[in-house]
Amino acid sequence: MIAVTSTHMNEAQHHHAHDDGKKTIVGFWLYLMTDCLIFASLFATYGVLAHATAGGPGGRDLFDLGYVGFETLFLLLSSFTFGLAVISAHKNKKGSAILWLGVTFVFGLSFIGMEIDEFTHLIAENAGPGRSAFLSSYFGLVGTHGLHVTVGLLWLAVMIHQVSHFGLNAVTQRRLACLSLFWHFLDLVWVCVFSIVYLGGVL
């Protein structure tokens, strides 16, 4: 009787853990959908205000496609190296997974560093968010993306720590999967930013 009860309890615990994992993934997809709405609103705002320069500089005067191209390259490479980290995690290669997560962190940090430098340069040239509606919408959209990448970098650092100390168990694998969705989502958003804001503003 005790053995049967113990078996049922173990099955219930296993089922509960399985459900928790599914709920985590579904919940994270819902979060990404809300993020999609936020960025859609920011893109729509930018689209309306893109030419509201108030006599100030526009995209052709401010944007350096070569510089932004390097930013984009860093973020695209970070997405690729994150994919390698996930592949290593699926193969239970802890050291390789940590290595590629670290490389991803470096690429992501380089992207943020370049973005901060770009913002600093614009503000120094009196092209800050208060200069015109165009610049307000630009800083709002690009800055929100940069804030998300910064959060992703903090999450990456936490995951490197967790994988190092707890290994590639079911929990860390699930968290890596969520972070992978988040990181690739940011990569996709940036491709839209580059195409609509930078290319559209210069060409």
Pick from 47, 48, 40: nearest CA to 145 = 40
Classify 32 as helix, strand or coil. Answer: helix
Which two structure tokens, joined as six digits, stand for 12?
Answer: 């219930």
Q: Write down the pLDDT at residue 120.
A: 96
Using 70 as the pLDDT threshold, list the residues of the chain that sit under it: 1-21
Q: Write down the pLDDT at residue 20.
A: 57
Classify 165 as helix, strand or coil. Answer: helix
pLDDT tens digits for range 103-146: 999 999 999 999 999 999 999 999 999 999 999 999 999 999 99
Fold category of 28-202 in CATH? Four Helix Bundle (Hemerythrin (Met), subunit A) (1.20.120)
pTM for this structure?
Answer: 0.86
Q: Write down the pLDDT at residue 5.
A: 43
Q: HEC string of 96-161? A: HHHHHHHHHHHHHHHHHHHHHHHHHHHHHCCCCCCCCHHHHHHHHHHHHHHHHHHHHHHHHHHHHH
Domain ranges of the chain: 28-202
Q: Write down the pLDDT at residue 6.
A: 45
Q: Write down the pLDDT at residue 165.
A: 94
* Cβ-contact 168, 89 below 8 angstroms: yes
